[in-house]
Structure 1
């Protein structure tokens, strides 16, 4: 696989102008070779930007996407930002949404972006991705074990195509999260691919355990751990979905055909 280049970008101006964070750092990862490329906004998990999240962005860049991951904890750190950011992910309101929009705008303004932009979220980021799909700003969304909001169908109205992956052993979510999401997407006529993996739990797409080592026995009990076998299939589905809806592979007259 080809190498990628990651640089820190200052998104503060774009976020503050929208009522978001006064300080916001993004991590921009570029594929090698000539652009332009479709863009992807990566929304990190509840534990913040870490090595696992950077590897997820690099994986997407190697697949041919211009990727930006905003650090939603920039303005205050994880300790101060986690609770209000998590509340925003559940309520649909808060500065984190303006920060995510700043990241999307940064991609849209980059001359190396084709203008087609997707969003992918993990854990808390999956909840944000679900709440972002209905605004008409994204061409595809990948939702990974994100908690569906109470006003799910309102959030999904006008949604872009959605690929979603859940683990049946995820004790952080109510049972039926995946089937409920699929039923809502069906009723709304949204193009989708939703799958629940019977042997997987929360954070099964991570390639390593994260968080304080002392707490890992508890997180394992809660079903929070990698599950490589399920992850391989989930990434295959995400890759295929983004190739179709962002690159236009297999769509007559679209780029990449």
Structure 2
């Protein structure tokens, strides 16, 4: 079901099917393509399987018509403060005390940036950018690793492919010093969220999703996902 957050940003909210009392909340941030039926389906699937309330805010509120080329060219116009406000508003919309955050690509980057907000108990990044790519740098955007290393940051799990040009190996090594990093040999960017995507890998995607949900379920305390 579509809702509008207090920030003015559209979002999808999914609740467990049937007469189920939610056990926790999850904020799910989409990839660069934004909120769409694919993420409506992801949200409802997780809500039903886990008994959680899942909220997915729109990545490009008011600019949903932009094509991917224009989105890539204008990422430096996005502001960390605005995205964090959306993530916190989405957490409140779950109406749950305990909330995790998950994101894909740019959404994974913002999930890591939210790890130091004090609102989330665990964060999962599917191939989120660890340091801002040069073309995206702007004074109002920090590097995600600065949040992951901040005092009081929640546990972070990063799920990444070894062939991902957006994630230099040196940056992955840096992140691995302060977070749980799982690397999938031969996987490229966006291997897990869209079965119709060019780089989708079904086996790796299933493994990554299982690890992500276990990590969130355990509030980042499970060692089983770090195999």
Residue 245 (1) aligns with residue 227 (2):
no
What is the Cα-based RMSD across aligned positions, in Å? 2.6
Q: In structure 2, the residue corresponding to 1:77 is in which secondary structure? A: coil
Distance 1:79 1:69 in 2: 19
**CA apart distance, 1:83:** 5.4
Structure with greater helix share of residues: 1
**Which has more radius of gyration?**
1
> 1:255 aligns to what?
none
Q: Aligned match of 1:229 in 184, 203, 216?
A: 203
Structure 2 matches for 1:154-193, cutoff 5 A? 154-156=146-148, 157=150, 158-183=152-177, 185=178, 192-193=179-180
Normalized against structure 2, the TM-score is what?
0.81
Distance 1:88 1:35 in 2: 39
8 Å contact kept, 1:41–1:117: yes
What do the CA deviations read for 1:71-102 (whole angstroms, capped 9, x no partner)? 1323232429835873367xx63422222222
Structure 2 matches for 1:75-224, cutoff 5 A? 75-79=62-66, 82=71, 86-87=75-76, 93-107=80-94, 110=95, 113=96, 115-149=97-131, 151-156=143-148, 157=150, 158-183=152-177, 185=178, 192-210=179-197, 220=198
In 2 relative to 1, CA 83–197 (structure 1 residues): closer, same or farther, beyond 3 Å? closer
8 Å contact kept, 1:205–1:227: yes
**CA apart distance, 1:123:** 0.6
Alignment length (residue pairs): 207
Q: In structure 1, the residue corresponding to 2:20 is in which secondary structure? A: coil
For structure 1, which segment, 71-80 or 237-246, has the greater mean C-alpha deviation from structure 2 after superposition? 71-80
Provide structure 2 residue ranges, at least 5 long, that are not aligned to the other structure.
133-142, 223-227
Distance 1:41 1:241 in 2: 14
4+ residue runs over 4 A deviation: 150-153
Distance 1:152 1:34 in 2: 35
